[in-house]
Amino acid sequence: MTATTSSVRQRRRAAIASWIGTTVEYYDYACYGIAASLVFADLFFPSSDPFVATLLSLSSFAVGYVARPLGALIFGHFGDRVGRRTILIVTLVLMGAATFAIGLLPTHRQVGAAAPTLLVITRVLQGISAGGEYGGAVLMTVEHAGRGRRGFFGSLVNTGTTAGLVLANLVFLPVLGMNEDSMHAWGWRIPFLFSAVLVVIGLVVRLAVEETPEFHEVKRHHEVRRLPVVDLFRACWRTVLLVALGIIGAGTTFTMATVYSLTYGKSGLGLSGNRMLAVLLPATVVVLVTVPLFGRLADRIGVRPVFMGGAVMLVVAPFAWFALLDTRQYGWMLLGFALLFVGYAANYAVVPAYFSGVFPSAVRFSGMSIAFTVGLIVSNAIAPAVSESLLAATGGWTAIAAYMAAASLVTLVAGVFLRAPDAPADERPGEPSPAAHPVPLAQPE
C-alpha cells in the first residue's frame, strides 16, 4: 500500500461512514420536505387561501437550499485547510441538532409569527450543514477508493440519498395514518426527534475513519492553500459553473419525485399523502438497485457516457411520469416513478466520481461543495414552488414536465462542455486525470 492508497478496511469504513452521513442528511431533508408538503402549511403558515399557505410552506423548504452556499463556503474552506474527516463530524452534529430542534418548535397557534421565524432559522442551519456534508462525504469515499473503483464507491454514497428518503417516508407513514388532531398536535414531531438516533450512529462510525490519502499528500507536499476559495475561482471558475449547471437535472428530478409529487397528488389528483407514499416508496427500490450498477458500469466505460445517457433519459421521462400519474392506477403510477428513477440513477450515480475528479485536490472540497450547492438552488430549491405555480396557472402538468425537461437539457449541455475526468488510454476508465487541470493554482502558503 502506497502513501496515496487506503487499506481495504479504511476504504470500507469511509464508504460506510459517508453513506450513513448522506442518509442522515437526506432523511432530515426529506422529513422537512414531506412536512412542508402536507402539514406545515396548517401548523406554521395558516392562511385563508390554502394555495398561499402551501406556497409559503414550500418556499420555506427552499430556504435550506439558499443557505447551502454559505455552508459550502465555510466548510469548503476548512475542509481544504484542516481535512475532510473533521468537517464531516461537525456537519453531521449541526444537521442533527437543527432537525431535532424542529421537532421541539411551537406552532403558529401557540406563539404566532414567531413560529415560522423559528422554523426558517432551523431550516437555515440545516442548509448550512448540508452545504458541507455532501461534498465532504463524496471526497471521503472517492479519495479513499483508489484507481478503478471511484465510480462504484462514489455511487454508494448516492444510495444514501434514497435510503434517507425511504427511511423518512417509513417514519412518516404511521404519523400520516393518525387522526388529524393527533398528527397536528404531536405526531408530526416524531420523525424530527428520531433524527438524534441516526446522528449518534453516524458519529460512532465517522470517528473510526482516517483522513483521506489525497489530503495527506496535499499536506505532505505543503500545498495547503491559505484561501482555497480564492484559488478555486482564480483557476477553475469555468469548472465551478459547469458543475453547478450539471447537477440541475438530477436535482430537479429528485425534488419533484420525492417532494412535489406529494403536493401534486393532493392538489392535482385528489389522492391522499398515504396513497402517494405507497407508490413512491416501492419505486425507490429502483434507485437503490440501479445506482451501484451504473457506478460499476462507469468504472468500465467511463463516467461521462453514463452521465450523459442519464441526462438524455431525464429530458424525456417527465412526460411519461406525469401521464402515468394521471391514470390514478397504482401499477401505472409505479411504472411512471420507475422510469423517472432509472434516468435519475444513471445521471446521479456518477456525480461523485465525475464532479470531484475535475477539481485539483488542494481546492477540491471547496470546488465540489460550492458548485454542487449553487446548482441545487436553481434546481431542488425552487422546483416545488415553481411547479405549484405552473399548475395553478395552466391547470395541467404539461408545463411542469417541460420545466423538468428543460432542467435536464441544461445538464446535458453542461456535460458536453465539462472536461471529463476519464483517464488516458494507459489508465482505467472513469479515473480523474491530472490533465483535466491545465490551469495551475496559485502558490501554496
pLDDT for the residue 423: 38
Task: Cite the DSSP H helix spans in 2-145.
Answer: 8-38, 40-44, 50-81, 84-102, 108-111, 114-145
CB-CB neighbours of 119 under 10 Å? 26
344, 314 in Cβ contact below 8 A?
yes
**pLDDT reading at 427 higher than 50:** no
* Alpha carbons 160 and 111: distance in angstroms, whole number: 36
**Span 195-207, average pLDDT:** 87
pLDDT for the residue 405: 96
**Span 248-252, average pLDDT:** 94
pLDDT for the residue 48: 54
Confidence of residue 42 (pLDDT cuts 50, 70, 90): confident
8-state DSSP, 396: S
**Span 29-46, average pLDDT:** 81
pLDDT for the residue 47: 67
pLDDT for the residue 434: 39
Q: Which of 235-249, 377-391, 403-417 has the lowest mean pLDDT?
A: 377-391
Task: Encode pLDDT of 123-136 as tens digits.
Answer: 899 889 888 888 88
CB-CB neighbours of 184 under 10 Å? 15
**Span 262-284, average pLDDT:** 84
Please name each of the domains of the chain with its CATH number: 8-210+226-426 (1.20.1250.20)
191, 168 in Cβ contact below 8 A?
yes
Q: Which of 72-76, 112-116, 431-435 has the lowest mean pLDDT?
A: 431-435
Q: Which of 12-16, 61-65, 242-246, 311-315 has the lowest mean pLDDT?
A: 61-65
**Span 159-173, average pLDDT:** 85
Confidence of residue 441 (pLDDT cuts 50, 70, 90): low
Task: Encode pLDDT of 206-241 as tens digits.
Answer: 888 887 787 878 888 888 788 888 999 998 899 999
* Alpha carbons 201 and 203: distance in angstroms, whole number: 6
Task: Cite the DSSP H helix spans in 177-227.
Answer: 180-185, 190-193, 195-206, 213-220
Task: Cite the DSSP H helix spans in 82-102.
Answer: 84-102
C-alpha separations of 302 from 149, 266, 298, 330, 424 in Å = 11, 41, 5, 37, 11
**Span 366-374, average pLDDT:** 90
Confidence of residue 373 (pLDDT cuts 50, 70, 90): confident
**Span 58-86, average pLDDT:** 85
pLDDT for the residue 46: 78
pLDDT for the residue 75: 92
Cell readout for 238 is: 469555468
> By three-state DSSP, how is residue 269 classified?
coil
Q: Which of 432, 438, 248 is CA-nearest to residue 358?
A: 432
254, 161 in Cβ contact below 8 A?
yes
Cell readout for 409 is: 437539457
pLDDT for the residue 439: 43
Cell readout for 350 is: 456518477
Task: Cite the DSSP H helix spans in 272-329.
Answer: 273-301, 303-325
Cell readout for 299 is: 468504472
**Span 75-79, average pLDDT:** 90
**Span 32-43, average pLDDT:** 80
Task: Encode pLDDT of 137-150 as tens digits.
Answer: 888 888 888 777 88
* Higher-scoring residue by pLDDT: 355, 162: 355
pLDDT for the residue 49: 63
**pLDDT reading at 396 higher than 60:** yes
**pLDDT reading at 318 higher than 90:** yes
364, 87 in Cβ contact below 8 A?
no
Dihedral pair phi/psi, residue 359, rounded to 5°: -110, 140
**Span 21-29, average pLDDT:** 84
* Alpha carbons 214 and 142: distance in angstroms, whole number: 10
Determine the straight-line distance between the first and last CA of the chain, rounded to whole angstroms. 29
**Span 170-176, average pLDDT:** 85
265, 315 in Cβ contact below 8 A?
no
Q: Which of 108, 29, 88, 21 is CA-nearest to residue 63?
A: 29
**pLDDT reading at 313 higher than 90:** yes
Mean pLDDT score of the chain, rounded to an integer? 84
Confidence of residue 59 (pLDDT cuts 50, 70, 90): confident
75, 91 in Cβ contact below 8 A?
yes
**pLDDT reading at 115 higher than 70:** yes
C-alpha separations of 372 from 63, 95, 239, 286, 376 in Å = 16, 18, 11, 24, 6
Please tell me the pTM assigned to this model: 0.79
Angle between helices 8-38 and 273-301 (to 10 degrees): 150
pLDDT for the residue 6: 59
